[in-house]
Structure 1
Amino acid sequence: MGHPDKLADQISDGVLDAYLAQDPTSRVACETLVTTGLAVIAGEITSRGTIDYQQVVRGVIRDVGYTDDEMGISADTCSVLVAVGKQSGDIALGVDADNSSGKDIGAGDQGLMFGYACNDTPELMPLPIALAHRILNRLTEARQRKEVDWLRPDSKSQVTIEFEGNRPVRVDTVVVST
């Protein structure tokens, strides 16, 4: 799933994973922007770990399948700009645990999430997003196996399901962009 927004999310997740592997108490507020030939990593991080941003970013881009400049970005040749600093001390005051006080840890930020866990599918996701992901996973397989030589990693899919109550009754629309 290599749409620039999804690629950016995966890079941010890769940065988070790299920090958590070294320090499970890391707090990572990482934002990523991806455009032609460029990945920009920015944010604020509190961690005892250290990571090689170039290695993490290029590894994610490579794993997704961007390995040629003709695709718009290549793991080996893209520029990677890093503008990451330490989190504010004020945030630390509000969220750090004081084990001796018995107080709960606070939250330093909030996010808006789309989707939710449910038991509608084996993936524990709503049926429309689960089907869209299956379509994209099959496109990824076809690209990686070179079954279709013109596919690139930037596909998108949206599936609309008609429900009667909580029961799906039909697929209304399937949109696939490659």
Structure 2
Amino acid sequence: MYLFTSEVVSAGHPDKCADIIADTIVDTLLIADKDSRVASEVFVAGNKVVIGGEVKSKHKLSKADYENIVKQSLAKIGYDGKSSFTKEQCLHPDDLEVLVFLREQSPDINQGVDQKSGEIGAGDQGIMFGFASNEAAEFMPAAISYARMLCDKVYEYAKAHPNELGVDIKTQVTIDYESKENFENCKPKSIHTIVISAPCVENMAIDKLRALINKLILETNLPKELFDPNKTRILINPTGKYVNHSSLHDSGLTGRKLIVDSFGGYSPIGGGAQSSKDYTKVDRSGLYAARWLAKNIVAAGLAKKCVVQLSYAIGVAEPTSVSVDCMGTNTRLDDNFLSDFVIKSFALTPNWIKNKFELDKPRAGHFLYADVAARGQVGQKDYPWERLDAIELFKGL
């Protein structure tokens, strides 16, 4: 055996609740003023939600506006007070207390970001990594792809059946590659273990819960060549019944699910979180650009997997470094050539990335940052930075 594991959490996990609230603030401000600058953090503990950080926008939000954003975000997630869980077992919107500690963004940052030339300087220094692999249809590693599929299935059921399940869900998938060589060459052989933890109402027996979740696993359409329900080890609520959940029993904070949001631990990740930040913050926009490049390189057949690293200096538009690493899986062009080509062909400034993916225009039918926070920053085919619109360019090299 050669095993690799990734985990995923649902939108109802307290850390994800914090991310979603923060990105709903980003959406609200950018939709009203596309030049808004946002760097807020959200902390959820018990029935209290604390919002802090910096904001610069022509669109002003009141304390009541922030309270509405919090309540509407949590209601959309599934904490709407309509479940069969008591106020002691699960967060209810009537009990919420929202504290707001937001201030104006520092002019020291503004002077470097919003430049007179119209260019946008990087909103911070930092490193970002984008990754892609041919292991799954999404050009993502197998473990996180299937953990997401399972999490989505159970979460959708929980939202539709609040009299049975809660929305604070975790899934985990272990892939067996059988050998290190297969791992390095993106050849998963089987799903070795599935772990799912989901809260259930107090009167549901553990055996009934496990039967229900097992049925949902079988309905998830995991690839038959990898998943054999008679061989895969399946662990459902391994500690037993799990009733108490939400921020009442586990606090949440923005930026604490970076591995879940990205590549499941399969590749390096950057130094900062994406949620809560506007598009000038390269922790966010740099990841999207690097993922887009890596995905198009792999989809063009130039490698089985690829890591693209970008780095930036605060206030400087051009990246300070760009590198491509196909981890020895190149098919015909080496990493030096690909790195040089990317540097010469794509500006990769915050302004270029913003325009390429319309990051200043979140909207229904395009993307919303709150939805990205809920579903993962990469790997969802409807995101603009997941488009395979540079394949022909890379194939022509």
TM norm. shorter chain > 0.5: yes
- Taking a change above 3 Å as real, the CA distance of residues 125 and 91 of structure 1, as seen in their structure-2 partners, is same
The corresponding residue for 1:78 is 96
Question: Do structure 1's residue 161 and structure 2's residue 184 form an aligned pair?
Answer: no
Distance 2:19 2:128 in 1: 13
Question: Do structure 1's residue 133 and structure 2's residue 148 form an aligned pair?
Answer: yes
Distance 2:113 2:175 in 1: 41
Unaligned 5+ segments in structure 1 are: none
With a CA cutoff of 8 Å and minimum separation of 6, indicate the structure with the bigger relative contact order. Answer: 2
The corresponding residue for 2:241 is none
3-state SS, counterpart of residue 132 of structure 1:
helix
Distance 1:110 1:80 in 2: 31
Distance 2:129 2:96 in 1: 30
If each structure's strand is expressed as a fraction of its own residues, which one has the higher value?
1
- Taking a change above 3 Å as real, the CA distance of residues 119 and 175 of structure 1, as seen in their structure-2 partners, is same
Deviation at 1:53, TM superposition (A): 0.9
Superposition pairs for residues 19-168 of structure 1, below 5 Å? 19-51=29-61, 52-68=65-81, 69-99=87-117, 104-109=119-124, 116=131, 120-146=135-161, 149-163=163-177, 164=182, 165-168=185-188
Deviation at 1:144, TM superposition (A): 2.2
1:7 aligned to 14, 17, 25, which one? 17
Percent same amino acid at aligned positions? Answer: 40
* Contact persistence 1:23–1:47 (CA under 8 A): yes
The worse-fitting range, judged by mean Cα deviation, of 108-117 and 76-85 is 108-117
- Taking a change above 3 Å as real, the CA distance of residues 71 and 41 of structure 1, as seen in their structure-2 partners, is farther
What is the TM-score with the length of structure 2 in the denominator? 0.40
- Taking a change above 3 Å as real, the CA distance of residues 87 and 3 of structure 1, as seen in their structure-2 partners, is same
What is the TM-score with the length of structure 1 in the denominator? 0.84
The worse-fitting range, judged by mean Cα deviation, of 89-98 and 119-128 is 119-128
AA at the equivalent of 2:152: N
3-state SS, counterpart of residue 168 of structure 1:
coil
3-state SS, counterpart of residue 41 of structure 1:
strand
Unaligned 5+ segments in structure 2 are: 1-9, 82-86, 199-397
- Taking a change above 3 Å as real, the CA distance of residues 116 and 33 of structure 1, as seen in their structure-2 partners, is farther
AA at the equivalent of 1:30: S
Larger Rg: 2
AA at the equivalent of 1:157: T
- Taking a change above 3 Å as real, the CA distance of residues 117 and 39 of structure 1, as seen in their structure-2 partners, is farther
